[in-house]
């Protein structure tokens, strides 16, 4: 507390010497707070360093060298650490084996996907080929159908014209037939 009051009075004297009027207290108060914060930080750093190094100093005072018991403990710790290292190494090897197995499985899955992809491409090719053949067959069939339809239509017309000729010749001999053909507009 004395440190704070002493510092306060020192800064009051410094600011008075700088001719600050009593009305302008803001610069003095803000500077005072800055100085107070610096002092608080320095005190905190000093306390932290003291607390940090006090266990080291206390340990160095009690330490009179290694005893046989300390050496035995160190040997036991060393053996235990080596065992732990072996166990960790064994675990890491097992993990590596599992990763290798997983890599092989991923490769198998990749091969299966590649096979399925090739199969789909082949099926798509076959389907496209069948569609092409089907369209070709339709066009060929349509052309042949038109030709056959024309031939049949021509034959049918020829047959009808022959029937008409026969009816006309018969109507020359038979007058009733001529009347019927005239009534239908065929003569």
Instruction: Determine the 3-state secondary structure of 183 from DSSP.
Output: helix
pLDDT at res. 112: 96
How far from 84 is each of 41, 81, 95, CA to CA, in Å?
Answer: 45, 5, 16
Q: Is the pLDDT of residue 23 over 80?
A: no
Report pTM: 0.36
Within 10 Å of residue 177's Cβ, how many Cβ atoms?
Answer: 16
Q: What is the pLDDT of residues 130-153, one digit of tens each?
A: 999 999 998 888 888 888 888 899
Distance CA 62, CA 33 (A): 44
Share the mean pLDDT of the chain: 82
Q: What is the pLDDT of residues 26-63, one digit of tens each?
A: 555 667 778 888 888 888 888 888 888 776 665 555 55
**Is the separation of the CB atoms in 60 and 39 below 8 Å?**
no
pLDDT at res. 1: 44
Q: What is the pLDDT of residues 81-129, one digit of tens each?
A: 999 999 999 999 999 999 999 999 999 999 999 999 999 999 999 999 9
**Is the separation of the CB atoms in 181 and 168 below 8 Å?**
yes
Distance CA 30, CA 15 (A): 12
pLDDT at res. 2: 46
Phi, psi at residue 25, to the nearest 5°? -95, -15
Q: Is the pLDDT of residue 18 over 60?
A: no
Q: How is the chain split into domains, by residue range? A: 1-64
pLDDT at res. 175: 84
């Amino acid at each position: 507390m004395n440190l704070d009051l002493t510092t306060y009075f020192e800064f009051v004297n410094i600011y008075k010497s700088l001719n600050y009027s009593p009305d302008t207290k803001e610069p003095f108060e803000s500077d005072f707070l800055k100085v107070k914060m610096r002092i608080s930080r320095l005190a905190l750093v000093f306390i932290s360093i003291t607390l940090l190094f006090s266990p080291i100093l206390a340990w160095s005072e009690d330490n009179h060298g290694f005893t046989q018991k300390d050496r035995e403990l160190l040997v036991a710790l060393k053996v235990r650490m080596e065992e732990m290292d072996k166990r960790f190494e064994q675990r890491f090897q097992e993990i590596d084996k599992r990763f290798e197995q997983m890599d092989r499985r991923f490769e198998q899955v990749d091969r299966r996907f590649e096979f399925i992809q090739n199969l789909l491409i082949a099926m798509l090719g076959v389907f496209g080929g069948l569609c092409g053949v089907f369209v070709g067959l339709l066009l060929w069939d349509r052309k042949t159908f038109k030709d056959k339809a024309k031939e049949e239509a021509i034959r049918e017309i020829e047959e009808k014209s022959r029937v008409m000729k026969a009816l006309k010749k018969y109507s020359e001999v038979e007058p009733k037939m001529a009347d019927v053909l005239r009534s239908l507009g065929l003569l």
